[in-house]
Structure 1
Amino acid sequence: MKKIAILLAAVMLFGIVASGCTTQQTATSELAVHVGSEPDIIDPALNSAVDGATLIVHAFEGLMTLDKDG
């Protein structure tokens, strides 16, 4: 019984290692973020809801940067 358990563990370990060894490259990357309800407005100046703020942060993230002073 102990030999079967060791063999099964070795096969499972090999399967985990082999599944991570892929050479196929994907052309695009996609990140899905679920924020709950659809926000009423996505204008940063007019928004006051949390669900809209989450979407705004993700949408405008590449457009803003912080300098050394914050």
Structure 2
Amino acid sequence: MTKNVGGIDRTLRILIGLALIAGAATNTIGMWGYLGVVPLLTGLIGWCPPYAIFGFNTCSLKK
């Protein structure tokens, strides 16, 4: 699995994921907020399946 999510993209995914999960945990935005797990995990792992399918890469590392 080659990383395809770069620095700013990863940071935004992690922050958005945490915000959605926090909103769901405090019952501010409802249960849909737990979908924040998806951007959180893709940000932590550094790999996004749709990016791989469509050939996107925001990672500056060249392998």
TM-score category of the 2 structures, normalised to the smaller one:
0.3 to 0.5
Report which of the two structures shows the higher radius of gyration computed on alpha carbons.
1
The structure with the greater share of residues assigned to helix is 2
Determine which structure has greater relative contact order: mean sequence separation of CA pairs < 8 Å that are 6+ residues apart, divided by chain length.
Answer: 2
Q: Provide TM-score, normalisation by structure 1.
A: 0.29
Q: Provide TM-score, normalisation by structure 2.
A: 0.32
